[in-house]
Amino acid sequence: MLAQQKQDISALFQSALAPLLAGTEVVANVVLERPRDPSHGDVACNIAMQLAKQLKMNPRELATKVVDALLANPAARGLVESADIAGPGFINLRVSAAAKQAVVKAVLAQGAAFGSASAGAGKKVIIEFVSANPTGPLHVGHGRQAALGDALSSLFQSQGYDVTREFYYNDAGVQIQTLANSVQARLRGYKPGDAAWPESAYNGDYIADIAEDFKLKKTVSASDGAPATASGDVEDIESIRQFAVTYLRNEQDIDLQAFGVKFDNYYLESSLYSDGKVDAAVDMLNKSGKTYEEEGALWLKTEDYGDDKNRVMRKKDGTYTYFVPDVAYHIVKFQRGFTQAINVQGSDHHGTIARVRAGLQAVNVGIPQGFPDYVLHKMVTVMKGGEEVKISKRAGSYVTVRDLIEWSGGGDIEKGRDAVRFFLISRKADTEFVFDVDVALKTSDENPVYYVQYAHARICRMLEQWTGNEAELANVDLSPLTAPTEAALLATLAAYPETLARAQAELGPHQIAFYLRDLAANLHSFYFAERVLVEDEALKAARIALMVATRQVLRNGLALIGVSAPNKM
């Protein structure tokens, strides 16, 4: 059902219950569900069983009174076809054919806005994802984050939220120093395998590329931040560090551009230190009384907030542990006015959740419990030619996002991007995923993104053969849409807005991919069971309208996850 129809049926129940509840303090909480068995009807409600004891009535007797009053209400005409009572007092309704068919006109009227809602109006949400260390190219794990985070951002926007996509650069710490040392070693003529090559150095070919451009005193720029010009001096480790970080940030920008992902803001970890945010956070924690000194270290009483043990904040050597800048960063997010913060990260970050949340509660500045939310994803295994791929020559030790896009598109970047984005959100984030490049290249039902895109292209091909005007479909008579495959399409179209709302609330963009596969399956079933361009003009017009509506919802869903909707395949 459409949302308005669901609201109308809830109102019918409330009206039917009103005289029964008059003079009592009983409040009716009407919950509508889909019957487990579709043969029982379209809507199920157990309100009679909920209220029977409070009203001192037999549940079936109460259900009978509710049904009689509901069906007698003039507002039910054209919406409710029939009502039955099952078991101890379940009320099952059948929605009229006209009500089910109304979704077509709703889609035609709303177009690209169909499925959108305003539940999040006035609420600011920040979604942080990818947030890769600028020490190398983006790997497939970052790709899964990018697909999940971007789709999740679009989902929230579709529900009316003011969304900021943010990339947090970990541009401070040991890994950045290792990057600089690796480039310096290359500048001195060493390479992986040489006796003088640092054991902890990065081994990918990209290190040699950075060293070569540094020697040539090139200037590089990233999407955010000042350009970096190489000094060319092998002993100038600070210039090497700045150049290498900016170089790799630019490389990551290129990868993200190929993936179709854009960020609204970039936030540097180093700025938390230079702007005094880390020191300010530590000062707030000290003043809260939730810290203590022991064995030369500063500890946070995270046990007070459900952690399994207290955690070190500042080590004996005076450096902070990694969760401290995270606490400072999330204080900043809250101060920036975000009512909700969501972090899309690898499952290896699970241990930081309790510590960060404990720190945010300890500062006692009004940050709500459970801030931030986390979407943690598991590993991606890449298969190609029937074998697992573990190493990229360019990266040295892992498959990059760029590798995956190029492989999955057979050299076609757009095709590869579509496949990678669809595949990487097609499973729940907390499940491991096997990405089979050979499947991504197939032009058959085995390839899920091809299967969905072909449904769109199939409709476009159908409509090319029709010579009518789509604008005239707004007033078409939809009553001829009675075939089983048409009913399945209508029901699936009507489920789209609810699917988006549920996926947003559950932080589950994979539900969009599931939905699109179901919609494509229903379209293909219809295509093989029925003809569209029949001689019966009324039936043809109704089916054309159904096809245009289905094409629109396929487009809407694919756009949400950043996948194209080709007219031809």
Tell whether the model's pLDDT for residue 411 goes beyond 90: no
Residues 178, 87 share a domain:
no
Give 216's pLDDT tier (boundaries 50, 70, 90): very high
Lowest mean pLDDT among 82-86, 347-351, 416-420: 347-351
Residues 179, 74 share a domain:
no
Quick check: is 143 in a domain?
A: no
- Identify the domain containing residue 551 by its residue range: 445-561
Residues 554, 464 share a domain:
yes
Tell whether the model's pLDDT for residue 135 goes beyond 70: yes
What does pTM read for this prediction? 0.92
Quick check: is 281 in a domain?
A: no
Q: How many CB atoms lie within 10 A of CB 427?
A: 18
Domain count across the chain: 3
CATH of the domain at 488: 1.10.730.10
7-15 long-range contacts (CB < 8 A, ≥24 apart) are 8/75, 8/79, 9/43, 9/79, 9/80, 9/93, 9/95, 11/75, 12/70, 12/73, 12/75, 12/76, 12/79, 12/80, 13/45, 13/47, 13/66, 13/70, 15/69, 15/70, 15/73, 15/75
DSSP result, 54-75: HHT--HHHHHHHHHHHHHHSGG
Residues 449, 539 share a domain:
yes
Q: Which of 32, 65, 95 is the last residue of a domain?
A: 95
CA–CA separation, 459 and 50 (whole Å): 46
What's 172's DSSP letter? Answer: S
Cβ burial, residue 8 (10 Å; 0-12/13-18/19+): middle
Q: How far is CA 185 from CA 40, 171, 178, 189, 207, in A?
A: 73, 20, 10, 7, 9
Q: Which of 218, 235, 259 is the last residue of a domain?
A: 259
Give 256's pLDDT tier (boundaries 50, 70, 90): very high
Tell whether the model's pLDDT for residue 403 goes beyond 60: yes
pLDDT computed for residue 440 by the predictor: 97
Give 401's pLDDT tier (boundaries 50, 70, 90): very high
pLDDT computed for residue 396 by the predictor: 64
The 3-state DSSP class for residue 310 equals coil
Contact, 62 vs 55, CB < 8 A? yes
CA–CA separation, 8 and 410 (whole Å): 51
What's the whole-number mean pLDDT along residues 57-84?
Answer: 96
Q: How far is CA 23 from CA 26, 66, 248, in A?
A: 9, 17, 71
What's the whole-number mean pLDDT along residues 529-546?
Answer: 97
Q: Which residues contact 501 (CB under 8 A, 6 or more apart)?
A: 117, 119, 159
Half-sphere exposure at residue 281, Cβ-oriented, CA atoms within 13 angstroms: 28
Quick check: is 450 in a domain?
A: yes
CA–CA separation, 425 and 511 (whole Å): 9
Q: If you search the block for the tokens 């995923």, which residue do you land on?
A: 433
Contact, 277 vs 328, CB < 8 A? yes
Tokens at 105, concatenated: 């006109």
What's the whole-number mean pLDDT along residues 178-189?
Answer: 96
Spatial strand order of the sheet with 433-436 comes to: 387-389, 380-384, 433-436
Quick check: is 270 in a domain?
A: no
pLDDT computed for residue 223 by the predictor: 80
Span 433-472, pLDDT tens digits: 999 999 999 999 999 999 999 999 999 999 999 988 999 9
Span 223-250, pLDDT tens digits: 877 899 999 999 999 999 999 999 999 9
Quick check: is 146 in a domain?
A: no
CA–CA separation, 534 and 540 (whole Å): 6
- Within 441-483, residue ranges assigned H as helices are 448-464
Q: How far is CA 429 from CA 149, 256, 344, 424, in A?
A: 11, 20, 9, 9
Span 139-152, pLDDT tens digits: 999 999 999 999 99
Q: Which residues contact 411 (CB under 8 A, 6 or more apart)?
A: none
Looking at the chain, the whole-number percentage of residues with pLDDT higher than 70 is 99
Residues 184, 87 share a domain:
no
Q: How many CB atoms lie within 10 A of CB 199?
A: 4
Q: How far is CA 487 from CA 93, 98, 104, 223, 525, in A?
A: 17, 11, 12, 49, 11
pLDDT computed for residue 392 by the predictor: 60
CATH of the domain at 17: 3.30.1360.70
Tell whether the model's pLDDT for residue 310 goes beyond 70: yes
Quick check: is 250 in a domain?
A: yes
pLDDT computed for residue 225 by the predictor: 72
pLDDT computed for residue 395 by the predictor: 60
Quick check: is 471 in a domain?
A: yes
Tell whether the model's pLDDT for residue 393 goes beyond 60: no
Give 369's pLDDT tier (boundaries 50, 70, 90): very high
CA–CA separation, 134 and 245 (whole Å): 6
- Within 530-566, residue ranges assigned H as helices are 537-560
Quick check: is 298 in a domain?
A: no
What's 329's DSSP letter? Answer: H
Tell whether the model's pLDDT for residue 53 goes beyond 60: yes
- From the list 198, 162, 193, the residue with the least C-alpha distance to 177 is 198
pLDDT computed for residue 226 by the predictor: 82
CA–CA separation, 173 and 268 (whole Å): 12
Tokens at 368, concatenated: 């709500």
Contact, 494 vs 553, CB < 8 A? no
Span 30-49, pLDDT tens digits: 999 988 888 889 999 999 99
Q: Which of 95, 126, 152 is the last residue of a domain?
A: 95
Between the two ends of the chain, the Cα-to-Cα distance in Å is: 32
Q: Which residues contact 258 (CB under 8 A, 6 or more apart)?
A: 401, 402, 405, 413, 417
Mean pLDDT score across all residues of the chain: 94
